């Protein structure tokens, strides 16, 4: 057998991540199925974390919570923007490895979104005085104390409030899109397609909050730019799935066409 050449090593490095990612859709993985059959959901999660390349600090945010689904409208997962805890119901693992991988990828994306928002806000509030204007729609807790750290906390809390509809929609759009690499043939399940389309429409229904400058002390222009980028990706994916995108077409024409 000839020794490996540099070219061979390069090919291995290029294709190795793809082989790891592809194994996430292996619903017949004996190690994963054994862990689930034994009720060892921590082991099942560890297997998923390895294949999703979660960093140790990211994996530490996940908590497996018995009975979570029953008390949260049958949802198998939820990300808390305040505590940064990512709760998973054991039922997620029973969906099979493919479904569980998508569920973990979805919640992981929310964690990274919260951290990204914090970075944007911290970068802004650490470099400039706390603005007096631009807080429309945000009920601040520290109006009488314009301290930068407290103002940053107020901004983060208001940003993650579901009243900022386009931001909440963009977060869910991005989280659903993050599932696609871990879906067989890159095809989302019908429920996920519907959820994606629902959030694309919801973003478009509230596009006025994007062009409104009276909220930009917390809904920063940089964050709005991210949300526009995500909406455009979501619209494109929804249209490729032959879902009716008519209700969001105007927003796409204004924000996306010729720009993304």
| Spatial separation of the C-alpha atoms in residues 94 and 41, rounded to whole Å | 9
pLDDT of residue 74: 77
Kindly state the tokens that stand for 169.
Answer: 């929609």
pLDDT of residue 26: 87
Q: What is the DSSP letter of 94?
A: G
Could you tell me which of 101, 122, 124, 116 has the C-alpha nearest to residue 170? 116
Summarize pLDDT for 19-66 with one digit per residue, the tens. 334 478 889 999 999 999 999 999 999 999 999 999 999 999 999 999
CB atoms within 10 A of CB 196: 24
Segments of the chain with pLDDT less than 70: 1-22, 141-146, 259-260
pLDDT of residue 142: 60
Task: Name the region of 55 (left: φ>0; alpha: ψ -120 to 50; beta: rest).
Answer: beta
| Spatial separation of the C-alpha atoms in residues 139 and 136, rounded to whole Å | 8
pLDDT of residue 235: 97
β-partners of residue 148 are none
Query: Would you call 157 helix, strand, or coil by DSSP?
Result: helix
């Amino acid at each position: 057998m000839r020794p490996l050449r540099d070219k061979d090593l390069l090919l291995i490095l290029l294709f190795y991540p793809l082989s790891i990612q592809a194994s996430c859709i292996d619903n017949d993985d004996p190690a994963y199925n054994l862990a689930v059959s034994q009720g060892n959901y921590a082991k099942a999660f560890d297997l998923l974390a390895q294949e999703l390349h979660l960093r140790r600090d990211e994996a530490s945010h996940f908590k497996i919570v018995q009975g979570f689904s029953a008390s949260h409208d049958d949802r198998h997962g939820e990300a808390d923007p305040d505590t940064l805890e990512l709760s998973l119901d054991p039922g997620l693992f029973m969906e099979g490895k493919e479904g569980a991988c998508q569920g973990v990828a979805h919640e992981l994306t929310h964690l990274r979104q919260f951290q990204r928002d914090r970075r944007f806000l911290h970068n802004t509030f650490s470099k400039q005085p706390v603005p007096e204007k631009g807080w429309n729609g945000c009920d601040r807790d520290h109006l009488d104390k314009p301290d930068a750290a407290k103002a940053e906390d107020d901004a983060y809390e208001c940003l993650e409030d579901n009243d900022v509809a386009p931001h909440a929609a963009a977060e869910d759009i991005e989280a659903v899109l993050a599932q696609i690499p871990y879906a067989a043939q890159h095809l989302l399940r019908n429920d996920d397609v519907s959820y994606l389309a629902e959030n694309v429409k919801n973003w478009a229904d509230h596009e006025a909050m994007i062009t409104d400058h009276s909220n930009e002390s917390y809904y920063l222009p940089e964050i709005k730019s991210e949300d526009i980028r995500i909406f455009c990706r979501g619209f494109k994916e929804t249209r490729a799935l032959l879902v009716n995108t008519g209700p969001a077409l105007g927003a796409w024409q204004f924000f996306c066409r010729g720009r993304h």
